[in-house]
C-alpha cells in the first residue's frame, strides 16, 4: 500500500528540501496555509523561482504547472515531481528553461 497523499506530499516537500541542500542551496519545507507566494511548498535560496512539489504516481502536468503559475506571484513557476522509485524531475516552461540556458 502507498502513502496517503497528504503524507506523501509532506515527505516530498522534505525530500525536495534535502535535494536542494545537497546541491548547495538553503532549503526547508514551507509552512502550509493555502498556497500562493506566502506559503510555498519549499522555502529556498534560489532567487526568482517558485517550486511546486508533486510526489505522486500520476501527474497532470498542465494542472500542476497551472497551480505553480497561480502560486508563483512574480516568480518563475517550476514543478518538481517524483514517482516511487524514480528520480526527481524538474518541469518548467520551455521559454524559462531557454532563458536560463542563455545565461550559462
Range of the domain at 62: 5-103
Work out how many domains the chain is built from and give that number.
1
Q: Which residues of 14-38 are buried (b: 16+ CB within 10 A; e: fewer)?
A: bbbbebbeeeeeebebbeeeeeeee
CATH code assigned at 26: 3.40.1350.10
Q: Per-residue confidence of the chain (104 residues) as pLDDT tens digits?
A: 456 777 878 899 999 999 999 999 999 998 765 555 667 889 999 999 999 999 999 999 999 999 999 999 999 999 999 999 999 999 999 999 999 899 87
Does pTM surpass 0.85? yes
Check if the beta carbon of residue 51 is closer than 8 Å to that of residue 15.
Answer: no
Amino acid at each position: 500500500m502507498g502513502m496517503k497523499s497528504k503524507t506523501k506530499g509532506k515527505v516530498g516537500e522534505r525530500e525536495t528540501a534535502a535535494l536542494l541542500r545537497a546541491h548547495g542551496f538553503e532549503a526547508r519545507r514551507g509552512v502550509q496555509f493555502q498556497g500562493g507566494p506566502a506559503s510555498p511548498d519549499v522555502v529556498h535560496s534560489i532567487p526568482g523561482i517558485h517550486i511546486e512539489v508533486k510526489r505522486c504516481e500520476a501527474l497532470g502536468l498542465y494542472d500542476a504547472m497551472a497551480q505553480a503559475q497561480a502560486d508563483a506571484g512574480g516568480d518563475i513557476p517550476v514543478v518538481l515531481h517524483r514517482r516511487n522509485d524514480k528520480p526527481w524531475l524538474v518541469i518548467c516552461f520551455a521559454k524559462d528553461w531557454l532563458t536560463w540556458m542563455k545565461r550559462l
